[in-house]
Structure 1
């Protein structure tokens, strides 16, 4: 099976704190990888590095065979220009934990804004946005503003927005952590529907039951390193590392 994402020697520091400490990780195409770990373990930073929202200090990320943020020419590496990085990002869907919708734009405009800015005709972008809203059960909300929607509805809009360029890779950064408990199910249902569609999903979550249900592979991180990885059965039911055992004993 080919690799959708390859991460090698990823190191990222902020001031005097190293958040990623030499991460190596391969994500197979068309699979669902779930990343677990305590707060501060580097999970969100790793996702942001995959989408070049964070620039690595050392190491590299490859998505679909392309180096993220850099290009090699004549054996030398050079950083991509911002426009090139934006086009790379358009191939990767990203769903943030706090929705990140534009409050001054309608729901339809939130979805069409990026495609139109990258050259998609407005009529085409609106047609696609309406289809995506229907796919997440929000067809009737296209003229509403984010403040008029519940948290669960806003997150479903954010998922629809992430699909606007039909990405083969979608990153979810704790997509239910900002939601009231009764709204979690509607968002997980949408993500569940995306699993098994041929897209590659990487999901950072604290929902262990959901991780077990949709994950092809579970990755446990702590203190900036990958401690353990394997099938849900191996990592969740029979963890080998003591740190994984301690973490699961507190969340299960």
Structure 2
């Protein structure tokens, strides 16, 4: 479903992604691990075309993301076309990015289209899915961090995306609030939602991931099942990283 091929990305003289190849099957959960600065978040942003690639390409369901191809050359799509593609790719950020002047329900409906009653009903269903139907009229300041992130997940689900990207969705939360967000993500995985998750929650990765990918210094060092990567890593760099995070 998702194909990342030969992706390179630099910021100035710093090369952040150095030829990433990755395939993600529909309905699967891929967890990306790696130290800070390894390129994990940049890879997610490239998949959603929040960052332009320098070389390579990304396809979702066979469709080039952010570009059209003419012969051997790629030409960037217009902003309106890129925004339309993004409607099929949900994104949950580290920070919740909710509009403070809108209620939880209004935050979810913001990007939705259609008759008002149908949009309202669907948004309530999404809030119910993350356990927050009773907070529909609450503003972000009235919600805990965990609740705000669950509203952000409901918003990402509002447009029935083909794929949902999670960029360290629990890193901004107090430890006691992490579980409620991970529980929602477990439910999504069980329902067959295609997910790519950047996280340091190793227990979640072991339990939910179909594939674990380890990045280091912009390169894909190792990938495999949770048992393969977490219990029997082949690469020295993977072993060194896991020795510090598996306690």
The offset of 1:84, in angstroms, is: 0.7
**Equivalents in 2 of 1:244, 1:67: separation in Å?**
31
> In 1, distance between residues paired with 2:57 and 2:18?
13
> How many pairs were matched up?
246
Distance in 2 (alpha carbons) for counterparts of 1:112 and 1:124: 10
Residue by residue over 1:151-199, the C-alpha shift from the partner in whole angstroms, topping out at 9 and shown as x without a partner, is 0000000000000111121111001000000000000000000013232
SS class of match (2:41): helix
Question: How far apart in 1 are the matches of 2:129 and 2:40?
Answer: 28
Matched, 1:101 2:95: no
1:91 corresponding residue in structure 2: 88
Distance in 2 separating the partners of 1:19 and 1:208: 24
1:159-174 → structure 2 map (5 Å cutoff)? 159-174=153-168
- The residue aligned with 2:213 is 219
Normalising by structure 1, report the TM-score.
0.95
CA change 1:72–1:160 in 2 (3 A) is: same
**1:1-252 → structure 2 map (5 Å cutoff):** 4-73=1-70, 76-116=73-113, 120-252=114-246
Displacement of 1:140 in angstroms is 1.3
Contact 1:152 1:187 in 2 (8 A): yes
Structure 1 position 72, deviation (Å): 2.3
Conserved? CA contact 1:11–1:18, under 8 Å:
yes
Deviations 1:72-120 (A, max 9, x none): 246653211111111100001111010111111111111111114xxx2
Q: Partners of 1:226 and 1:73 in 2: how far apart?
A: 29
- 8 Å contact from structure 1 (residues 217, 230) kept in 2: yes
SS in 1 for 2:82: helix
Q: Which runs of 5+ in 1 are unaligned?
A: none
Normalising by the residue count of structure 2, what TM-score does the alignment of the two structures yield?
A: 0.97
